[in-house]
Chains A and B, each alone.
Chain A
């Protein structure tokens, strides 16, 4: 199947040499998943399924185990949805905890949508962090696209309100709204985010509203909590997994997909404007074992 051969060759290292299917083998596979931040409970679930199927199919060959493991994870990750396309006026709210890459990702997304021939407007609704507005402005400049900004310290919901108004009068296809980084356990900041989201729902009800949660691939188990609470607040429709150009695997999105069923839409692979890719579950699973 498609790139599956490629995938299997990567875990040959552990599984080849005519190895027996024994506890030690499963322990090594478990270790790989844990080290990729998949988390204890999801890892146990995957390994248990794997063991059961191995028993059912009376597998004595370690080779076959790797195919099964790959399938287990694909089954979890494969999004039912087709790839993300802009087909009607769309507002994308970008949310997440501090420093994960929200503003940078907006710069990259703007570039992507402009290349697709869309008219893009940025909304600088992070009015809190030092020079956050200037940072977004630099990205607007690089993309040669419009930006709506207020002063530092002003109400973020009202910046979005103005952004939506401007977008409507200018026939904008995509609004990309930056928000301040906030930890999900801060009640007041999550309330502020809900208020921003309500403005989006009220003022943009004829268009398509998406909320993308940006997750840093280096983050561990806390990302599950982030996804849960941001989803409750703003009905997250997709995840963008950043910083996959490092050595972190971002395995936590497997747990998130399995528990909360939020699809991963894009990945970030660098700081440049072109360092954004559509999420490819096969490539992702393969990389877990590299």
Chain B
């Protein structure tokens, strides 16, 4: 859908530029107008789009069109390469501690997918030979602890809980001792969803961080998030200095421009993506695939790769 519109529009723009030649300023400007719209429609943040367009315009000006490509394809290639580079040119993995247990803390807005993803991550890490324990630090949401317990039992991973009357900081601290005493080498802390503007609850996260010194603080972000994602990511990162991002609900039909925005404002890697409600629906993030999804043109890109 979007694939056709962007490629089609670019082809129209370059119609006059038959065959080869240099990309002129006028052509590039016009093309970038279309790229800008495509990125905004994919929910990339307005300010991020502006910056991106400036960079790509500079790179495109005066470039000789490649032998094997049409001018439209050539511009798409430049845009795609830049998008991929921005999203991190290589995959990044979990930092494991030399002194187990490795502590992973899951944070994010309400409903982004923290609890489900905690379960997926536990399941994933166990398949890599680790022995994880899940920690129930959401003492606020109705039946949040029960939810984590159901998740734990369905993947056969133990859940450490102290009910909803102990503070999350104390629960987190106690869970580390529990893991040490029972030979669990990964601790995954599920925290309550919260707004980035909720000072009290943001302080709570900082206190948990200070208490257990996590090896990984992962921000869980719903891939359908719109323009506001930059405020969210910026606030969580400022408060906690996060280590990475997990993008969820990519099994939907969103273009997922949030991925680019989050990366642009935090400079932290997207480590995993989640795409389903099953516990196996998690995988390592690939920047190139995400770039083509945001542009909505996998087909054109595979054509370019062959070229």
Contacts and interface: CB of A to CB of B under 8 A. Distances in A.
A243 B225 CA distance: 12
Nearest to B261: A220
* Chain A interface size range: 35 or more
A98 B223 CA distance: 12
Contact of A130 (B42, B140, B151, B253): B151
A158 interface: no
A34 B143 contact: no
A87 interface: no
Nearest to A243: B110
B111 A98 contact: yes
A281 interface: no
A99 B113 contact: yes
Interface string A85-126: 000000000000111110000010000000000000000000
B141 A271 contact: yes
Is the interface on chain B under 10, 10 to 19, 20 to 34, or 35 or more residues?
Answer: 35 or more
B11 interface: no
Contacts of A137: 143
Given A101-B110, A131-B147, A246 B40 contact: no
A139 B111 CA distance: 17
A243 B224 CA distance: 14
Given A35-B46, A130-B154, A247-B196, A221 B41 contact: yes
B91 interface: no
Contacts of B148: 130
B46 A247 contact: no
Interface in A130-189: 130-131, 134-135, 137-139, 183-186
Given A183-B252, A246-B196, A219 B224 contact: yes
B37 interface: yes
B216 interface: no
Contacts of A246: 109, 195-197, 228, 232
Nearest to A133: B143
B227 interface: yes
Contact of B254 (A100, A101, A186, A222): A222
B222 interface: yes
A216 interface: yes
A100 B111 contact: yes
A130 B41 CA distance: 33
A99 B222 contact: yes
A45 to B, nearest CB: 14
A183 B251 contact: yes
Interface string B200-219: 00000000000000000000
B228 A218 contact: yes
A130 B228 contact: no
B111 A99 contact: yes
Contacts of B30: none
B225 A183 contact: no
A39 B40 CA distance: 8
B111 A101 contact: yes
Most chain A Cβ neighbours within 10 Å, of B110, B140, B227, B254: B227
A40 B5 CA distance: 14
B119 to A, nearest CB: 8
Given A135-B143, A248-B228, A40 B41 contact: yes
Chain B at the A interface: SS class? loop
A249 B228 contact: yes
Given A218-B228, A222-B252, A134 B46 contact: no
B43 interface: yes
A154 to B, nearest CB: 15
A216 B195 contact: no
A180 to B, nearest CB: 9
B156 to A, nearest CB: 14
Nearest to A245: B195
A221 B147 contact: no
Nearest to B254: A222
A191 interface: no
B47 to A, nearest CB: 8
A97 B146 contact: no
Contacts of B252: 97, 183-185, 222
B32 to A, nearest CB: 15
Given A35-B227, A37-B227, A134-B143, A218 B109 contact: yes
Interface in B9-59: 37, 40-43, 45-46
Given A130-B151, A222-B253, A97 B41 contact: no
A84 to B, nearest CB: 24
A252 interface: yes
A138 B142 contact: yes
A49 interface: no
Q: 3 nearest interchain CB pairs?
A: A220-B226, A99-B111, A220-B43
Interface of B: 37, 40-43, 45-46, 109-113, 115-116, 140-143, 146-151, 154, 195-197, 222, 224-229, 231-232, 249, 251-255, 257-258, 277
Interface of A: 31, 34-37, 39-40, 97-101, 107, 128-131, 134-135, 137-139, 183-186, 216, 218-223, 225, 243, 245-249, 252, 271
18 contacts: A37-B226, A40-B40, A97-B249, A99-B222, A101-B111, A129-B147, A129-B277, A130-B147, A131-B147, A134-B146, A135-B141, A183-B249, A183-B252, A219-B226, A220-B43, A221-B42, A222-B224, A245-B195
